[in-house]
Chain A
Amino acid sequence: MSLLDSINHFSYGAFCIWQRNILVWKKLIGPALMLHFGEPLIYLFGLGYGIGQLVGDINGISYVSFLATGIIASSAMTTASLEGTYSVFTRMVPQQTYKAILTTPIKIEQIIAGEFLWCANKALFSSTAILIIATLLGLVESWQALWVFPIILISSIAFAAPAIIVAALSPSYDYFNYYFTLAVTPMFILCGVFYPISSMPSAMQIAVQFLPLTHTVELVRPLMLGQDVQNTFYHIAILLVYAGAGTILAMHIARKKFRL
């Protein structure tokens, strides 16, 4: 089999898994849209305009604009994390969906690749919804905001990888609490979604440099506000390291779990 054939063969399998998930998603499009549009609206109106009254401007930017850019970044994280843990675990263990698929020519690596695709896809759905809302509220400053999509794509892989690893290692749903309490929630609060990280003590500012969400926020915020992005390659490199190393590790762990 030539390299091209192998790539074609591999991506067909991953595509099947992505297709499976999107077909299921389509059946539940009502609740899905409710989540994608409803949640950010509550954040923007409740926190953005509510707390914004008290906070005033941040570096010359209205608080609601500041928050909108953070929410887009954090939604990539929450969407990919929820899908990578709860949904993947459901298909992996209680539903035995993977077990059934593995009796066909499709391999575990293709299943995991398909799940990555789907996590990224879902993160793009949610950031698109928020971008639409933000644009309608007049919070987006320039067309360069469209560059948000490739950033969300890379970020969602960086967040999906640890989530899928957690799903593969957890004996039950309850164990996700460790991951969400120790990783997802701290990133949500500490990585600059709600306030600039420059307002934290300097040790904290250094610590958050190791967390991927910080870099997603640092890239997405100026893109939406029509500003120049600082240290572009540094931020992208960190996200790529998370995405790359995470993917390799996730594949390895899933292979061990399913190939005795």
Chain B
Amino acid sequence: MIIQLKNISKIINNRIIVNNLSFTMRAGHCFGLLGPNGAGKTTTINMILGLITPSSGQLTVFDMQQPRHGSKIRKKIGVVSQEDNLDPDFSVFENLIMHGRYFRLAKDQIVDQANSLLASMELLKHKDLKPLQLSGGMRRRLSIARALMNTPELIVLDEPTTGLDPQVRHLIWERLRELRNQGTSILLTTHYMEEAERLCDELMILDQGIAIESGTPRELINQHIEPHVFELDKSAAQTHSLKNTASQRIEMIGDTVYIYTTQSHLVRQHLDALSDDQQIHYLHRPANLEDVFLKITGRDLDE
């Protein structure tokens, strides 16, 4: 086991940030911590890194106790934090060199590693620029390159693609999949369900510090949600007074009505019939983790 949490809690200023959390992460897996802002994801990561001491519980990483062996454990971990904290006083290349020194790597090794990582992250031609001269996507790629300087056994990413455009997001996903295929373990937090579904072998959904569900993305979806979802506008739904029936379950969140069903053709027929007298725009899509979250907590994930 790479990571083992047993009944971990963290209380800061009388507020329970993480509440009795337990999970294990296997080597070579991609494990996702999923949840809205304030769910306790970052605090959990910082406890795993040994930067925050749990209020109670047992935590081991690489079979060593945290936070006692923080330094030794961090030697084998690469970290991509939520906010960019690249060193603004150094160029792209120097950022990687300096980071390699913090890990006490050999000089030649540092230079070779920096060059090959810059190449794989498509940053080689920007190596002499300062971080502030880069776009957000390039900075994030540099953060990931930096996290790989020590050839980590485990890479920890805290919302790695938040605020990035789709192209960069796909490049990052591709690199992460490559890493996992090479045997690197990945711990990821995200509030993008798509990201979790694409990358993670195993997931845990956190809400207000509590683990509310866990399993593989498919398991979670199959367990909780009908496979088909129709989304339509609230006003349209109201005029036609849609009702729960054996074949459909209706949820209303904000201005959107969600119809969940196992029999998509029935719902589709019904909606198309209604459309005959008045145009109804609807979206038919497969169920995803977002729906799972919605069902479990009754809330939108991005709110």
Contact = CB atoms under 8 A, between A and B. Distances in A.
Are chains A and B native binding partners rather than an unrelated pairing? Answer: yes
Interface of A: 12-13, 16, 19-20, 23-24, 27, 95-97, 99-107, 258-260
A132 B72 CA distance: 46
A24 B90 CA distance: 7
7 contacts: A12-B104, A24-B90, A27-B89, A104-B99, A105-B72, A105-B75, A105-B104
Contacts of B53: 259-260
Nearest to A106: B102
A101 B79 CA distance: 10
Q: Is the interface of A mostly helix, strand, loop or mixed?
A: helix
A105 B89 contact: no
Nearest to B77: A103
Nearest to B70: A107
Contact of A95 (B72, B85, B99, B101): B85
A259 B12 CA distance: 12
Contact of A103 (B74, B87, B98): B74
Interface of B: 12, 46, 49, 51-53, 67, 70-72, 74-75, 77, 79, 81, 83, 85-90, 94, 98-99, 101-104, 150
Contacts of B71: 105-107
A258 B102 contact: no
A260 B12 contact: yes
Contact of B85 (A24, A97, A107, A258): A97
Contact of A99 (B77, B81, B89, B98): B81
B99 to A, nearest CB: 7
A105 B51 contact: no
Contacts of B81: 99-100, 103
A15 to B, nearest CB: 9
Q: Is the interface of B mostly helix, strand, loop or mixed?
A: loop
B88 A95 contact: yes
B74 A105 contact: yes
Contacts of A101: 102
B297 to A, nearest CB: 27
A108 B290 CA distance: 39
Nearest to A15: B101
Given A16-B102, A23-B94, A104-B103, A99 B74 contact: no
Given A24-B90, A95-B87, A259 B51 contact: yes
Nearest to A94: B88
Nearest to B76: A105
Nearest to A19: B101
A252 to B, nearest CB: 16
A95 B131 CA distance: 12
A96 B49 CA distance: 17
Contacts of A100: 81, 85-87
Given A23-B94, A259-B51, A96 B83 contact: yes
Nearest to B43: A260
B87 A97 contact: yes
Given A20-B87, A95-B85, A103-B49, 20 more contacts: A12-B104, A19-B101, A24-B90, A95-B87, A96-B83, A97-B85, A99-B81, A99-B85, A100-B86, A103-B74, A103-B79, A104-B99, A104-B102, A105-B75, A107-B70, A258-B51, A259-B53, A260-B46, A260-B51, A260-B52
Nearest to A28: B89
B101 A16 contact: yes
A102 B86 CA distance: 13
B291 to A, nearest CB: 34
Contacts of B101: 16, 19
A105 B76 CA distance: 9
A96 B85 contact: yes
Nearest to A1: B72
B93 to A, nearest CB: 12
Contacts of B89: 24, 27
B50 to A, nearest CB: 9
A5 to B, nearest CB: 12
Q: Which 9 A-B pairs have the closest CB atoms?
A: A96-B85, A103-B79, A104-B102, A100-B85, A24-B89, A105-B71, A105-B75, A260-B52, A105-B74
Nearest to B71: A105
A99 B88 CA distance: 13
- Chain A CB count within 10 A is highest, among B51, B72, B86, for B51
B102 A105 contact: yes
Contacts of A104: 74-75, 99, 102-103, 150
- Chain B CB count within 10 A is highest, among A95, A101, A102, A105, for A105
Nearest to B78: A103
Contacts of A106: 71, 102
B135 to A, nearest CB: 19
Contacts of B90: 23-24
A105 B88 CA distance: 21
B49 A105 contact: no
A105 B85 contact: no
Contact of A259 (B52, B85, B104, B150): B52
A13 B104 CA distance: 9
